[in-house]
Structure 1
Amino acid sequence: MPLPSPAPREPLHRRAIDIRGYRREDGLFDVEAHLVDTKSYPFVNDDRGTIEPGKALHGMWLRLTLREDMEIVACEAASDFTPYAVCPQAAPNFARLAGLRIGPGFNRAVQERVGGVEGCTHLREVLGQMATVAFQTLYPIRARREREEVARIMAAGGAAERRRPAMLGSCLAYAADSPVAQARWPWLKEEAGSGQG
C-alpha cells in the first residue's frame, strides 16, 4: 500500500542509493553501493560551475569485500562526481576498514578510522546500510551452516547449544512474544513458560 497522496509539491532533490550483495568465485563476498544525488534545478557550484538539473552532485561508489564471518577483507571507494575537487582524496582512506568485523560497535569503529576530515560524510552514511545488506546477503549461508552444525552435533548424540537469535527484539515481528518469532524459534515458548524469557 503506497503512502497517501501528498500535498501539491515540486521535486527539489533526489538521493538514489543502490546496494547489492554478491558471492565471489574465491569464496568471499562483495557488498557494493552506488550513491547519486541530483537536483531538479540548475545551481552554481564553486568548483564545477553550473550543475544542470539531473546531473550528479554526488556520484560515489563503495565496495566491501567480506569473509563469511563478516570480517572486512578490503574496502574500495571511488567518487565520479563530487561538489569539490578535493573530495576524491578521501576515497583511499576507506581501505582502513579492512580488518573490521560488521557487528556491534561497527559504526563507532568506522568513525574512528574514517571519521571527520579523514573520510567522506556520504560514504560513511552509506556504510550503515551496507552493513545491513551484508547481513541480508550472508544470512542464508550462515544460517544453513549453523543448521548443519546443529544436525551434526545432534547426530553424534550431543546437545546443541541454544543461542538467542541476534534478530530477537530488533523489531515488532521479532519480539519474543510475536507469532513470527515463536513460529521461527519454538523454544521461546518454553522459555516464556519457565520465566527465563
Structure 2
Amino acid sequence: MPLPRPVEREHLHTRKITCEGYLRKDGLWDLEAHLTDTKTFGFDTRHRGYMQPGAPVHGLHLRVTLDLDFVIHDVIAVSDDTPYPVCKQTAEAMRRLIGLKIGPGWMREVRSRVERRASCTHLMELLGPLATTAYQTMHSALEERASRQPTRSRPRILDTCIALVSDGPEVKQRWPEFFTGPRDDEG
C-alpha cells in the first residue's frame, strides 16, 4: 500500500543509497554502499561552480570486507563528488576501521577510531545500512555454520523486531530451543 496522497509540494532533493553484498572467491565478504545526493534545481557553489539540476552534490562509495565473524579486513572509500575539496581526504580515515568487529557497541568504537573532525558525515551514515546489509548477505552462511555446532548459541537477531520476538511463532518454528512462550503442552 503506497503512502497517502500528499499535499501539493515541490520536489527539491533526492538521496539514493544502494547497498550490495558479495561473497568473494577467497571466502571473505564485500559489502558496498553508494550514496548520491542530487537537487532538482541548478545552483552556484563556491568550489564547483554552477551545479546543473540532477548533478551529484555527493557521490560516495564505501566497500567493507568482512569475515563471517564480522571482523573488518579492509575498507575502501571513494568520494567522487563532494561539495568541498577537503572532503576527499576523509576516505583514508575510514581505513582506521580495519580490525574492528561489527556488533554491539560498534558505532561507539567507530567514533573512537574516526573522530568527527576527520570524517565525512555521509560516509559514516553508510555504516549503519552497510552493517544491516552484511547480516542480510551473510545470514545463510551464519545459519549453516551454527547448524554444524554441537550446541547453538542464542541468535543475536532474536528480540530485535516484532517478527522475531523470542515468544513469537517465528522463533517457535525456526529456533524452538530459544522459544520463551508457552509450550503447546502447557496450553
- SS for the counterpart of 2:134 is helix
Is the 2:168–2:181 contact (alpha carbons within 8 Å) kept by the matching residues of 1? no
What are the ranges of 5 or more consecutive residues in structure 1 without an aligned counterpart?
A: 154-159
Once the two structures are superposed, what CA deviation does each residue of 1:70-110 show, in whole Å capped at 9, x if it has no partner? Answer: 10001010111000011101111111100000101111111
The CA distance in 2 between the partners of 1:184 and 1:4, in whole Å, is: 36
The CA distance in 1 between the partners of 2:167 and 2:7, in whole Å, is: 39
Q: Which amino acid aligns with 2:108?
A: R
Partner of 1:65: 65
Is 2:156 the partner of 1:174?
A: no
The CA distance in 1 between the partners of 2:154 and 2:32, in whole Å, is: 30
TM-aligned CA distance change 1:188 to 1:27, over 3 Å: closer
Is 2:155 the partner of 1:165?
A: yes
Partner of 2:118: 118
Is the 2:154–2:178 contact (alpha carbons within 8 Å) kept by the matching residues of 1? no
- SS for the counterpart of 1:47 is coil
* TM-aligned CA deviation for residue 164 of structure 1: 2.4
* TM-aligned CA deviation for residue 188 of structure 1: 4.2
Superposition TM-score, scaled by structure 1 size: 0.88
The CA distance in 1 between the partners of 2:181 and 2:24, in whole Å, is: 42
Q: Which amino acid aligns with 2:3?
A: L
Q: Which amino acid aligns with 1:27?
A: G
What are the ranges of 5 or more consecutive residues in structure 2 without an aligned counterpart?
A: none
Per chain length, whose mean CA-contact separation is higher, i.e. which structure has more relative contact order (CA < 8 Å, sep 6+)? Answer: 2
Superposition TM-score, scaled by structure 2 size: 0.92
The CA distance in 2 between the partners of 1:52 and 1:94, in whole Å, is: 30
* TM-aligned CA deviation for residue 138 of structure 1: 1.0
Once the two structures are superposed, what CA deviation does each residue of 1:7-59 show, in whole Å capped at 9, x if it has no partner? Answer: 22111100001110001111111000110000001111111111111000000
The CA distance in 2 between the partners of 1:38 and 1:144, in whole Å, is: 41
CA RMSD of aligned residues (A): 1.5
The CA distance in 1 between the partners of 2:182 and 2:57, in whole Å, is: 56
- SS for the counterpart of 2:79 is strand
- Paired residues, number: 183
Partner of 2:5: 5
Structure 1 window deviating more from structure 2 (175-184 vs 36-45): it is 175-184
Partner of 1:30: 30
